Amino acid sequence: MDGLPLRQHSATAGLRPATLDVRNISRVFSAGSGSFHALQDVTLSVAPGEFLAIVGASGCGKSTLLRLIAGLDVPDRGDIRLDGKTIDGPSLDRGLIFQEPRLMPWLTVEQNIALALENAAVTRQERAQSIADHIALVGLRGFEHAYPRQLSGGMAQRAAIARGLVTRPEILLLDEPFGALDALTKVRLQAELQRVWLAEGITMVLVTHDVEEAVFLADRVVVMAPRPGRVSAIQKVALPRPRDRTSGAFVACKAAILAALGAT
């Protein structure tokens, strides 16, 4: 299942992948006497169904940018639009996955996912079906009634991904979702995420400091630079999926991004 050669869209998905427009946004934080330009004049466009990765050194504002898109924070200048509508707060159209699974420890996997549907206009039956579908989608069948403390880090993050997807968002935002996992689990979950993206056909924006992860998953990789946080380069990844991490083209692409990051 890891590598479907073609984009296949599941019949059940609501399928309204969206265009995301980030226009000239700036975000300044005051730090003591001075101020800190987390983002300065950042402009980006994400096509419907696209997988966009954002990489950069810490302090380049990539997580700030994602929080702005999620609606958890407000830009000082510029605006962000989803399908032409300015974002002014969190919405179920935009799912957000954090580095930590952030599951409620007192709820089971099933109840955690159900929490996302608290305000969804669905019948009881649709709700149960949708939860079951998404548990199956992330490969957690059999763990519906497990509590978070009974799950491994990778399984907990799968549950978090199911919670992010169950509302059928137009766009899924991922903030270093695999950053805290061990190398093997990380590689496995990257393949899983690719499978989910292919199956659901939704737009995804992934913030990561792992260049290989970005090249493995993304259609385009945005390279950001710090002080002030800005976009310094955009690299297209035109390799067919599933991508071979050891192929010459993959390694060359990775090298180009590392060079843009100033790491070589």
Partner 1 sequence: MRRAVAWRTPALGALLPLALIATWQIAASAGTFDVGLWASPATVLRAASATVRDGSLAGDVWASLQRDVAGLAIGVPVGLIVGTLLALSRLGDALLGPSLSAVRQVALFTWVPLISLWLGNDEPGKIAFIAYAVFFPVMLATQAGVRGADPQLREVARTLCLTSWQSLRRVILPAALPSIAAGIHLALVYGWLATIGAEYLFSAGPGIGSALMTGRAQFRMDQVIVGMVAIAVVGMLLNVLAGAAERRLLQSRGL
The site for partner 1 (CB under 8 A) is made up of: 70, 72, 90-92, 95-96, 98, 100, 102, 104-108, 115-116, 118-119, 147-149, 163, 167
> How many angstroms from the chain centroid is the CA of residue 120?
21
- Decide whether 172 or 257 has the Cβ nearer to partner 1: 172
Q: How far apart are CA 181 and CA 178, in angstroms?
A: 5
Q: Least CB distance from residue 134 to partner 1, whole Å?
A: 14
Residue closest to 42 by CA, chosen among 232, 218, 214: 232
Q: Least CB distance from residue 183 to partner 1, whole Å?
A: 25
CB 45 within 8 Å of CB 171:
no
Tokens of 84: 């032409």
- Decide whether 102 or 245 has the Cβ nearer to partner 1: 102
- Decide whether 53 or 69 has the Cβ nearer to partner 1: 69
Q: Least CB distance from residue 59 to partner 1, whole Å?
A: 21
Q: Least CB distance from residue 158 to partner 1, whole Å?
A: 16
- Decide whether 173 or 193 has the Cβ nearer to partner 1: 173
Q: Least CB distance from residue 95 to partner 1, whole Å?
A: 8
CB 105 within 8 Å of CB 160:
no
Q: Which residues of 15-51 are buried (b: 16+ CB within 10 A; e: fewer)?
A: eebbbbbbbebbbeeeeeeeeebbbbebebebebbbb
- Decide whether 117 or 211 has the Cβ nearer to partner 1: 117
